[in-house]
Amino acid sequence: MSIAFEQVSYSYTPLSKRQKKKGETAKYALKNVSFTLEDGEFLAIAGHTGSGKSTLTQHLNGLVHPTEGRVLWNGLDMADKKVATQARGDIGLVFQYPEHQLFAASVYEDVAFGPRNLGCSEDEVELRVQSALEAVDLDYEKLRDVSPFELSGGQQRRVAFAGVLAMKPTTLVLDEPVAGLDPASRADFLKLIGSFHESGMTVVMVSHNMNDIALLADRVMVLNEGEIVWLGSPDEVFMHFDELRAIGLGVPHAQRFAKEMRELGFPLEEKLYSPESLADAIAARLKSGEQS
Amino acid sequence: MITFDHVSFTYDGEQFVLKDIDLTIEAGQFVCVLGANGSGKSTLSKLINALLLPDKGHVFTKDMDTAESENLFLIRSNAGAVFQNPDDQLVASLVENDVAFGPENLGIENPELRDRVTEALHIVGLSGSEKRETTALSGGQKQRVAIAGILAMHPEILIFDEATAMLDPRGRRSLMRVCKDLHQRGMTIIMITHFMEEAAQADRVIVLDEGSVVLDGTPDEILTQDEKLRELNLDVPFAAQLSRMLQDRGIDVATHIETESLQKELLERFNITLNTEA
């Protein structure tokens, strides 16, 4: 189930023909974006506020259509309404603060909404609701009849995730999935998202937390002012330390620490993104000094 | 400046989200309140400016009992709060009108009103944005406009209730700078946050768990307790985390909460090993 962007540009205020003739230029939220989302990969999209991240994710399931260029789903143009409708069952989009979109009187009804809309039988709906709630570590029997609004914020977000999973998408698109959670729930959610990926789903995660990205992503895309600045492995992207800072993004804590140490004259290798590998390297360096 | 005298609070009459809180916050202090979701930290902040009233005990803000309705006006104009969602807090479509909204309601008139707006926008680093539309601002800018709106009321206490939670790193850094600047100007700052890097910069850290104060001290005293913090479902500052990992690997370093001081100690150790080699 591949998704391909072909030179996609998007403007929220496209110009009329007359304005074009006058030589006015439109403001673009996305400019000439081309890439292919590979099956089963974990792609992280990072960018400063206003970089075009959310606009890009909305193209992924046909919520908005390119002003120029095409988005292809299995080779089919998503600008075609029929294609977009089909694709929506296949690509699950979880918005920022998805718990704000819960609406039903019970957890069951909320999660059942998606599969019912897909035309599933009630038996099938029940199966899907049950397995979706289990996938997000919620107790189906205990919570099915509870109002989602009586749950904690973290649980509400799990219900919202389950609602998307119940549509059985092969691709999951998550816009800032752990924003606003406390540290313990953050860690739980990141683990959960990692498990979706391990179970074979293609995952696209929008985030500006480079530590989270370093932990999970196979590939990282960095957007700035609507354009792709880098697209590659975490190694390839995180080496652009100063440039990332300049466009308002950080780098993983461990990497920043290592770089500053190098500059202070403490020799450390590059590509140290996790605290564990950094601690190993520093300890080894200090011990080798002691032994010699 | 702010006193909690045996304060308990419940939303539903059954479960107490704050239990017998006794606290004194001095004028000019920069206090950071930490706690997992549901620990009661937001409730605590809302009691300071009488958005909520205690069910038991008393809260005194500037020596005024928040439960006395005649104090309400003075308390609210002296203790302003900025909340999490930048989109929920602006009332006007132009920046200058938004900032003027608070002082105008206090009865301030031009030219003082205009001066206050100019000054407040200057403090938050948004001079020249008077005529911009609030909807065209970034999240961090919106939060700074919200702060300016409070500053223009000349309060002595500023409460940040997870005001940086929805901001990106750049927005967060800019807000922290404003916050430290206001503290240096003598304001009392109460900051509710999940970010340890922010807590490390406070004078005092208070940790809540299930409605009670469980830790209270300087950042150095509190943020180095990595096991305790994890138990309370809180983050550990990166420097403290790395210090502990190095200790586990047999390196004898102190537990630091700020990266600069950890780097300095590691460098000193490295230089010693170099010298002994030579």
Please report whether residue B185 resides in a domain.
yes
Check CB contact under 8 Å for B168 and A261. no
User: How far is Cα B227 from Cα B218, in angstroms, rounded to an integer?
Assistant: 17
Please report whether residue B251 resides in a domain.
no
- Measured between CA atoms, the residue of chain A closest to residue B164 is A180
Q: What is the structure's pLDDT at B16?
A: 92
Please report whether residue B6 resides in a domain.
yes
Contacting residues of B for A282, CB less than 8 Å apart: 246, 251, 266
Contacting residues of A for B241, CB less than 8 Å apart: 275
For residue range B130-180, what is the model confidence (pLDDT) as tens digits? 999 988 888 778 888 998 998 898 899 999 998 887 777 777 888 888 888
Please report whether residue B260 resides in a domain.
no
User: What's the whole-number mean pLDDT along residues A40-65?
Assistant: 89
Q: Which residue has the tokens 């683990």?
A: A191
Cα-Cα-Cα-Cα dihedral sign, residues B251, B252, B256, B258? negative
Q: What is the structure's pLDDT at A126?
A: 95
Of B37 and A32, more confident: A32
- Measured between CA atoms, the residue of chain B closest to residue A255 is B238
Q: Which two tokens stand for residue A34?
A: 């081309």
For residue range B92-145, what is the model confidence (pLDDT) as tens digits? 899 999 999 989 988 889 899 999 999 999 988 889 989 999 888 887 788 889
Contacting residues of A for B268, CB less than 8 Å apart: none
| Distance between B130 CA and the closest CA of chain A, angstroms | 21
Instruction: Find, among B216, B214, B255, the residue nearest to B233 by Cα.
Output: B214
Of A260, A280, A287, the CB nearest to B263: A260
Please report whether residue B22 resides in a domain.
yes
Please report whether residue B278 resides in a domain.
no
Residue A197 CA from chain centroid, whole number: 12
* DSSP annotation of A12: S
Q: Which two tokens stand for residue A289?
A: 């000094």
- Under DSSP, is residue A131 helix (H, G, I), strand (E, B) or coil? helix
User: How far is Cα A223 from Cα A231, in angstroms, rounded to an integer?
Assistant: 9
Per-residue pLDDT at A118 exceeds 90: no
User: What's the whole-number mean pLDDT along residues A71-97?
Assistant: 89
Total domains in chain B come to 1
Check CB contact under 8 Å for A286 and B38. no
The conformational region for residue B270 under phi > 0 = left, psi -120 to 50 = alpha, else beta, is alpha
Of B233, B266, B276, the CB nearest to A266: B266
Please report whether residue B178 resides in a domain.
yes
A19-23, A109-113, A189-193, B46-50, range with the lowest pLDDT: A19-23
Query: What domain range includes position B228?
Result: 2-236
B positions 184-203 inside 8 Å of A (CB): 194
Please report whether residue B68 resides in a domain.
yes
Cα-Cα-Cα-Cα dihedral sign, residues A169, A174, A179, A182? positive
| DSSP strands (E only) in A78-163 | 91-94
Q: Nearest 5°: CA angle at B175, between B166 and B223?
A: 80
- CATH number for B131: 3.40.50.300
